[in-house]
Structure 1
């Protein structure tokens, strides 16, 4: 692919309608705060969705219960928090056995362009009350999903974006630049290249490092395009490429080194194991101590 400048992919615009998906756990507390703060700073509308999963009633359990009352109190508190920040907030509760599909369907039906969900920190999505449904949401959703750890701030002074030369990555960079422009953030663009196997590396060395030079030239061309995009947007940017077989480890290390408040990752296609980035996005979302924004391949682009 050739070098491209900002917003070349249609639809790469800032978020205007945020969907906050919550459950009854403490994991949602930070996600609520982050979603309201982001909506206030971006001037976006906020919709809150609580998916009630029906569970079997325990033997001899008392009839009735206080779930309905607790939900009203939770929504009232949310509306109060949103009103205090001048955010238009609509709250909905639905009953569905598959929360991921319910969240995805609601986002699609209501024209949402960002989904925000919470996690339990290092336990990640697997310990969320929504459970493995959250992982399914990352695979299902055609719009970006912001995964928020249970604790931590969301200042967004520094954003790390993992890049390659795909349409999904270009879209993730567009989103990243839009956020950085709106919030005054510094962007750190990282390209992680999988190294050649030892046998191929020796052969390439004997042939004058042709393949190595090709990989590094492609990486530098990609990062130069991002530097030009950032300059056009008035965004401060740093770039790096490195060779490593564990991009998730590199992302975690660089995010810590550069004090990043947000990690932005591209996701290619919709199949669970279509590319390396599928597993990578889930690993990072489940283990990161900073919010992770997963940007899917744009809907107007074919899955390859």
Structure 2
């Protein structure tokens, strides 16, 4: 089992070898490359109840899964290395969301990338979702790609098109941080940024132009944002419809990360967008604390 490097910030790619996870791999490699981050690939074996360590009986029961996982992890690491991205893997057993979050903290992850099956309804409420749990608790932004998203999982990372970014804002601190992350990515890709605010159908919200102006100023967007649009209606439905209409390649948004009954009653716009999006979604949770995604490139030789 390889241990991830601890010296520098990294991009954490969580994989379960499903179709959504396969689609997430080239995106993780592309993002690690443009952000100058190393890549840590983590897979979590579902351990039996009461698991505390790799005891002989536990090891025997998990060995077949462990062997298969090591082979798959090795393939992902080689794929990343072939595209000049330094990558390592870690294979652990336990509760997937707990291990992913713990590993993200240990490797000082600047970004978590993962696929999501996007369950809805009673199935989602009963079984839960690893991606949902990570989204609600991660200390860094989370980049998700839904099972229904287009594209082939074996696509060359450099051919992935993220050239149009739709930022959905409610002008909250988390939305402000989301816009700053979008602008940072847009400058590196490069990409155009579209800024969208969705108000309730009967809203009499005023001062929208000033709010847009303040958001752009705070994000230091320069001329990177090419459109600012106000729509009315259901937020998630309007965001998804506008993303389809504008052929957005990435949706970026903030979320308050509610938990418990309040979350179940009110729902989450971010989670609804993730379940319905045909492109990846980058979510920035709570508080609006902004920390650059990119790691500074090492200084060049002095002349």
Q: TM-score with structure 1 length normalisation?
A: 0.76
1:122 and 1:288 in contact (8 A); partners too: no
The SS at the match of 1:161 is: strand
Aligned alpha-carbon RMSD (Å): 3.0
- The answer on 1:45 being equivalent to 2:38 is yes
- The answer on 1:171 being equivalent to 2:177 is yes
- Alpha-carbon deviations, 1:56-115, whole Å to 9, x = none? 8xxxxx97763222122112211211111110111001111x211211111112210111
- The answer on 1:186 being equivalent to 2:192 is yes
- The answer on 1:216 being equivalent to 2:203 is no
- The answer on 1:109 being equivalent to 2:120 is no
2:176 and 2:288 in contact (8 A); partners too: no
How many residue pairs match? The answer is 260
Q: 1:70 & 1:223 partners in 2: Cα distance?
A: 50
Q: 2:225 & 2:289 partners in 1: Cα distance?
A: 29
Gap regions ≥5 residues in structure 1: 1-14, 57-61, 198-211
2:274 and 2:281 in contact (8 A); partners too: yes
Q: 1:64 & 1:87 partners in 2: Cα distance?
A: 30
2:175 and 2:288 in contact (8 A); partners too: no
1:160 and 1:188 in contact (8 A); partners too: yes
2:144 and 2:282 in contact (8 A); partners too: yes
1:45 and 1:88 in contact (8 A); partners too: yes
Q: Name the residue aligned to 2:246.
A: 258
How far the C-alpha of 1:145 sits from its partner, in A, is 0.7
How far the C-alpha of 1:236 sits from its partner, in A, is 4.0
- The answer on 1:237 being equivalent to 2:226 is yes
Q: Name the residue aligned to 1:118.
A: 115
Q: 1:174 & 1:138 partners in 2: Cα distance?
A: 19
The SS at the match of 2:109 is: coil
**Which has the greater radius of gyration?**
1
Q: Name the residue aligned to 1:271.
A: 259
Q: Name the residue aligned to 1:152.
A: 150
- Alpha-carbon deviations, 1:111-165, whole Å to 9, x = none? 10111111247879x78xx952221111111211111123435411111111122
Map 1:85-100 onto structure 2 (within 5 A). 85-96=83-94, 98-100=95-97
